[in-house]
Structure 1
Amino acid sequence: MLDLTLTEIAEALQGELVITDDAARAGWTPETVVNGTVDTDSRLIGTGDVFVAKRGEFDDGHRFVGAAVAAGAALVVVEHAFAAEEGRALAVPQVVVADSVLALGAFATEVVARVRASGDLKIVGITGSNGKTTTKNLLRAVLERVGETVAPRDSFNNEVGAPLTMLKLTAGSRFLVAEMGASGKGEITRLIRMAKPDVGVVLTVGLAHAGEFGGIETTLATKTEMVQDLEPDDVAVLNIDDPRVAGMAGKTRAEVLWFGLSDAAAVRATEIDATASGTTFVLHLPDGSSKPVRFAVLGEHHVMNALAAAASAHVLGVPIDEIVAALETVTRAERWRMEVMGGKDGVRVINDAYNASPDSMAAALKTLALIARPEQRTIAVLGEMSELGPFSVEEHDRIGRMIVRFNIHKLVVVGEGARAIHLAAEHEGSWGGEAIFVDTADEAFDLIAADTRADDLILVKSSNSAGLRFLGDRIAQANSIAQPDPTGGAAS
């Protein structure tokens, strides 16, 4: 974070600075400078950091103020002061605000504005129904080769996660990669107004979170927010192969840079070849340059994310050699996203159970079918795709039928929320042990453990809420290659 005095922070948050007698005796004054990391998780607080006490659905961060101070917090942002008469006086300053989440956003807005004013910060905003985190990771890998780059950890892309990322900016930061998700209209606009992008990327518009949004049209309107506030000298990086995204070109004043597989895309991939070790393709940029890429991230669908990252980097002046070199260093999209594990007796587990939508589920199944050798058995272990609302049964049914058409050899469906996958697969002709339904991940593990054969290729896929990412880890661990004993087996 930038160096800011306590007074400057309080003003940015529109809050009241409280320095108790205990804090004053400890040496704190309104002009004391704070520059530590800002977080809402007291477990991540260290010496000099700022703890924001946020009320959540299941807990209240105010309960952990004491733990944050004990861990070394230099400042706490709270919705009520911890007063001496309550027996809870703090020996660190407090900024008291009306709403901690809104204050966090205001804090981020101030820091972004200061870094912009004093340096040459460029901001890339990324949204889409699928691929945000992968694209963010790929673009970070590229931009880090050029200058100091700030990007979110995991999928920090909401009204809390996005500002926490923005608050990591320093005076020397050259790039901010902001992943911008939403569960309703107006949320992307709110994030953009904290940190307006110079480059706005829209990947896809699909049924992910359709239940929360209320339908595909609301999803489209929400994702379009990414490009509506862009200025004429900004750039909208749009997926020409997604008709809904392509339609956004008429909703923005910014220059449009198309990416995709279409010949009309200025940033495109040709000669795509997907295998079990990754995907090769030739990257083409608008300046006429082209270069082959050996992309280790599994799944042909991730080529689109690589194109989006390459397009954004090109806008920011990164040459093709640097772009390709960076893309080739990335070996996985993210933890639990098309992560290849295992190895014992040739068994491979593709753990892709961090998130799932109809589009990403179809892409993962296509990858499973595409990369398997002719003699190799394929197994899909699938759980629920959450947040689909009224589309849930229909979309799970579609996936079940798709599995049979892809000729996946064995299907294990886990949990009542995904039962429609199993029913559809059976209806399509998958029976006699080819399609099995179980209630729990433990049952699925026992079933897979008892039936795994040499060279099996196993996909584990579900939404995060279904918890199958841990099942994928268990299956992979049971089939992992044992590491040699570094002591040579000697007694210790």
Structure 2
Amino acid sequence: MIALTLAEIARVTGGELRTAGEHTPDTVVDGTVDTDSRLIEPGGIFAAKPGAETDGHRFIGKAIERGAVLALVERPTDDAVSQIVVPGVVSALADLARHVVARVRDGGALTVVGITGSNGKTTTKNLIARILTDEGPTVYPHASFNNEVGAPLTMLRVRHDTRYLVCEFGASAPGEIARLAGLVTPDIGVVLMVGMAHAGGFGGIEATVKAKSELVGAIRPGGTAVLNADDPRVAGMATLARGRGVEVRWFGRGAAADVRADEVVVDAAGTSCTVYADGTAASLRLRVLGEHHVMNALAAIAVATRIGVTLAECTSRLETVELAERWRMQPLGTERIRIINDAYNASPDSMAAALRTLAQIVGPGERTVAVLGAMSELGEYADDEHDRVGLLAVRLNIQRIVVVGQDARRMYLEAIAQGSWDGEAVFFPDADAAFEYLVAELREGDRVLVKSSNAAGLRHLGDRLGESVS
């Protein structure tokens, strides 16, 4: 974080300052801010956030042991550290993040990029960061820090020399993206796609469209909206952008896009294509597995070329990326038996993309195995969408379908209902039972996809399988 006095932090957060030791209101702090006491570093600021399962106030002592010099609290404690008592720690983080980013922006050349979409946010964030890091100091989220806590914590990592801040904005209800993006008013806003992810929380697909468009509404006038030309729901957001004096920059597979891809070829080692941007062309060999990541790469290139990075520089940097993020199309195991662990998140769209990738990368004499768990936050759409995944797996001729968990059982039922399919589907109530089956079942030449939402916990099953066949 940038250097601020204790008094200034108290004023910005609307809190009451209680100094400890040699501290005075004029004491300056500039350490990193975190809600996890285990991650606090010397000089750090600990945000004692109450939670559903535990209370951050219980861990102030641990934060002090790791070097915390200030705690944001909702009630004063007896711990020997300066404290700012605020009405709400989460709101205080947002207020502090807004202030810090504004200060850095006023005094430097900071460009803020915001990203949202039903799928692909984290991968696109990492691809943009990979390109921009070579241009100057870049701050971007760890993992999927995209909610009301994670996004402000990322913003608070900027310093006066930061040139680029890349923010990922997720949401499970209307209004959340508007609040988060409103903290930084992005110069560039990226909307990747609108699908069924979180549709249950939003109340349907049209409400999801409205929620994702909140990012476009938060872009500062004169900024740029980078929109998916291939998704009609996203393309419709251009009217909102232009009505606010925001430029529209298109990415997609079609000829009308400002940044597009052609000649796409997928294999087990990655995806090759030719990228066209503003009248120039370059070949791209993505090592990140899956054809769907081409669109994420196009979005990243659309952002970077808008900033001034050449297409050749974009593609050469993207080709160094080996993994988008842990548990996202992560190759494990060996060439003998390859495990693809993509079980950090799942929606109907990402599930379909992963299954299609599995079908594309199999070679002669190799077998496709899909280990599938539940998709979360679909609400009333859950039954139909799980049915569709089971049907798609059969239509793609996935040779073994292993469904794990009661919430995913409909995938199994739909698969076995397809009488013309000559493959095999099995169901297990939990990951341990599925693991025992798979260890005995897998054979040389198998290509195994493990895919589910985070809540289903199959990412750990994928890790175990990777270790077992290595």
TM range (shorter): over 0.9
Matches within 5 A, 1:38-49: 38-49=33-44
In 2, the alpha carbon distance for the partners of 1:428 and 1:61 equals 51
| 1:339 aligned to which of 312, 330, 335 | 330
Aligned to 1:396: 386
Summarize deviations over 1:376-417 as a string: whole Å, max 9, x none: 110000000011111001000001011111000000000000
The secondary structure found in structure 2 opposite 1:130 is coil
- The question of whether the paired residues in 2 share the 8 Å contact of 1:198 and 1:230 is answered with yes
User: For each residue in 1:194-245, what CA deviation from the matched residue of structure 2 results, as whole angstroms up to 9, or x when unmatched?
Assistant: 1110000000100001111111111111000011232441000000001100
Question: Is this contact kept in 2: 1:381–1:459, CA < 8 A?
Answer: yes
Equivalent position amino acid for 1:93 in 2: S
State the distance in 2 between where 1:225 and 1:303 align: 25
Amino acid at match of 1:122: T
Deviations 1:88-114 (A, max 9, x none): 2x3321111001100000000000000
2:447 aligned residue (434, 457, 481): 457
1:78 matches 2:73: yes
Residue among 188, 194, 210 paired with 2:199: 210
Q: 1:126 aligns with which of 99, 104, 115?
A: 115
- Distance change (3 Å), C-alpha of 1:430 and 1:451: farther
The corresponding residue for 1:188 is 177
Structure 1 outlier segments of 4+, above 6 Å? 430-433
Could you tell me how far 1:429 is from its partner in structure 2? 2.6
The answer (yes or no) to whether the contact 1:123–1:199 under 8 Å persists in 2 is yes
Q: Which residue of 1 aligns with 2:304?
A: 313
Paired with 1:311 and 1:279, the residues of 2 have a C-alpha distance of: 19
User: In structure 2, what is the equivalent of residue 483 of structure 1?
Assistant: none
CA contact (8 A) 2:365 2:445 kept: no
Cα distance per residue 1:277-300 (max 9 Å; x no partner) = 0001111112x1111011100000
The answer on 1:58 being equivalent to 2:65 is no
Identity of aligned residues (%): 57
Which residue does 2:22 correspond to in 1? 27
Are 2:381 and 1:386 equivalent residues in the alignment? Answer: no
Aligned match of 2:64: 69
Matches of 2:86 and 2:221 in 1, distance apart? 37
User: Residue 327 of structure 1 aligns with which residue?
Assistant: 318
Tell me, yes or no, if the aligned pair for 1:150 and 1:176 is still in contact at 8 Å: yes
1:447-488 deviations in whole A, cap 9, x for unaligned?
1110111111000000000000010011111111xxxxxxxx
How many Å separate the matches in 1 of 2:74 and 2:40? 19
Q: Which residue of 2 aligns with 1:301?
A: 292
Instruction: Tell me how far 1:120 sits from its aligned partner.
Output: 0.4
SS at match of 2:265: strand
How many residue pairs end up in the alignment? Answer: 467
User: Alpha-carbon deviations, 1:349-397, whole Å to 9, x = none?
Assistant: 0000000000000000000001111321100000000111110010000
SS state of the match for residue 453, structure 1? coil
AA at the equivalent of 1:475: L
Task: Give the letter aligned to residue 166 of structure 1.
Answer: M
Correspondent of 2:236 among 247, 254, 274: 247
Distance 1:376 1:256 in 2: 44
Aligned to 1:417: 407
132-141 or 318-327, which moves further after superposition? 318-327
Aligned to 1:164: 153
Alignment-derived partner of residue 254 in structure 2:
262
Is 2:274 the partner of 1:279?
no
TM-score (norm. length: structure 2): 0.98
Q: 2:347 is matched with which residue?
A: 357
- Could you tell me which of 289, 297, 307 is aligned with 2:280? 289
Aligned partner letter, 2:49: K
Q: Distance in 2 between matches of 1:96 and 1:187?
A: 25
Shift of 1:28: 1.1
How far residue 432 of structure 1 moved from its aligned partner, in angstroms, is 7.6
Name 2:224's counterpart in structure 1: 235
Aligned equivalent of 2:469: 479
- The answer to whether the Cα contact below 8 Å between 1:404 and 1:430 also exists between their aligned partners in 2 is no
Rounded Cα–Cα distance in structure 2 between residues aligned with 1:64 and 1:431: 55
Task: Tell me the residue number matched to 1:485.
Answer: none
User: Which amino acid in the other structure matches residue 444 of structure 1?
Assistant: A
Whole-angstrom CA distance in 2 between matches of 1:337 and 1:361? 12
Q: How far apart are 1:193 and its partner, in Å?
A: 1.4
Aligned 8 A contact 1:404 1:429 in 2? no
SS of aligned partner of 1:361: helix
Distance in 1 between the 2:130 and 2:288 partners? 13
Give 1:412's aligned amino acid. Answer: V
Letter of the 1:263 partner, please give it: A
**Pick from 95, 103, 107: which aligns with 2:96?**
107
**SS of equivalent to 2:236:** helix
Distance across 2 between alignment mates of 1:356 and 1:430: 28
Partners of 1:414 and 1:438 within 8 A in 2: yes
Cα distance in 2 for residues equivalent to 1:431 and 1:124: 46
After TM superposition, the score normalised by the length of structure 1 is 0.93
Is the Cα contact below 8 Å between 1:275 and 1:370 reproduced in 2?
Answer: yes
CA distance in 2, matches of 1:463, 1:231: 34
Instruction: Tell me whether 1:139 sits opposite 2:128 in the alignment.
Output: yes
What's the offset of the Cα at 1:333? 1.3
* Aligned-residue RMSD, C-alpha: 1.1
Instruction: Give the equivalent residue in structure 2 for 1:7.
Output: 7
Q: Give the secondary structure class of the aligned counterpart of 1:51.
A: strand
- SS of residue in 2 equivalent to 1:164: helix
Larger radius of gyration: 1
